[in-house]
Amino acid sequence: MKQITTSWDDGHILDFKLAELLQKYNLPATFYIPQTNSERPVMSPQQIKILAKDFEIGGHTLHHVRLRSADKEFLEEEIKGSYDWLCDLLGEAPVSFCFPGGVYNAATSKSVFQYGYKLARTTELFSTKSFTAGQVLATTLQAYPHSAFTYAKHLAKRKRATTLLAWLKGSETNLAKLAGHHLNHISKNGGCFHLWGHSWEIEEHDLWKELEELFKIISNRAGFTYVQNKGLI
């Protein structure tokens, strides 16, 4: 199976600009939205309902907190609380959950599935694996140009020694070229290409043109199935 999916975190109002671009290229997406976020503004409940007409809405804790604690009461408030809030807001149970900052441990990932979510996503990069039930889903690329050092660290996490050696020789950091490399790998071997990012970050770094180039590369590819994150299950 060859799949392409995208997901976008934090629920900033600029997600609507992102949604227009996604629709232009017929790309499904999941938006992970907290109820509140002390770091930056979050769209209103009514705006979330409007976005939900065309896209999947996933949980992102209630207050956009890093889930480092194994305290049961804390996890219930933030994870189950987000699940219940989205149930009430959207009139249906959410399927997917994303850890703020990609921070999780065994206790927090267990709680995500215990409290009703079926899929949990982190922020780790360079994965082309298909979803496996009960496991935390890594991603392929972030819509943000990281340094060669950061990419090398993610390759090391993926235990891809051969790719890492080639990487250290070339240090390729161009997002379009990276996308093409991973898509070619999936075309030959199967798997999932997962692009994620933040609309506020794309705005801050003026990456809209680069993002549209990425969308051109990943859209309308023969032989690929396009899904929201819940469609990976």
CA distances from 32 to 77, 82, 107, 213 (A): 17, 11, 21, 23
> What local confidence, expressed as pLDDT, does residue 151 receive?
62
pLDDT digits (tens, 9 = 90+) for 100-117: 999 999 999 999 999 999
> What local confidence, expressed as pLDDT, does residue 169 receive?
44
Taking residues 45-65, report their average pLDDT. Answer: 98
Share of the chain above pLDDT 90, in %: 78
> What local confidence, expressed as pLDDT, does residue 167 receive?
47
Taking residues 10-26, report their average pLDDT. Answer: 98
Alpha carbon distance 73, 71 (integer Å): 6
> What local confidence, expressed as pLDDT, does residue 13 receive?
97
Domain boundaries, the chain: 2-232
Residue 17, class by beta-carbon neighbours within 10 Å (0-12 exposed, 13-18 middle, 19+ buried)? Answer: middle
CATH of 2-232, one of 3.30.420.40, 3.20.20.370, 3.40.50.10490, 3.30.390.50: 3.20.20.370
Listed in sequence order, the residues at least 6 apart from 135 whose beta carbon sits closer than 8 Å to its beta carbon are none
pTM for this entry: 0.91
> What rounded mean pLDDT belongs to the chain?
90
**What six digits make up the tokens of 123?**
């922020």
Listed in sequence order, the residues at least 6 apart from 185 whose beta carbon sits closer than 8 Å to its beta carbon are 128, 191
If one compares 149 and 213, the residue with the highest pLDDT of the two is 213
> What local confidence, expressed as pLDDT, does residue 170 receive?
46
Type of residue at 12: H
Taking residues 113-138, report their average pLDDT. Answer: 92
Range among 123-132, 156-165, 198-207 with highest mean pLDDT value: 198-207
pLDDT digits (tens, 9 = 90+) for 135-191: 899 999 999 876 665 666 666 665 554 454 444 444 456 888 889 989 999 999 999
Of 1-15, 44-58, 139-153, 177-191, least confident by mean pLDDT is 139-153
> What local confidence, expressed as pLDDT, does residue 70 receive?
75
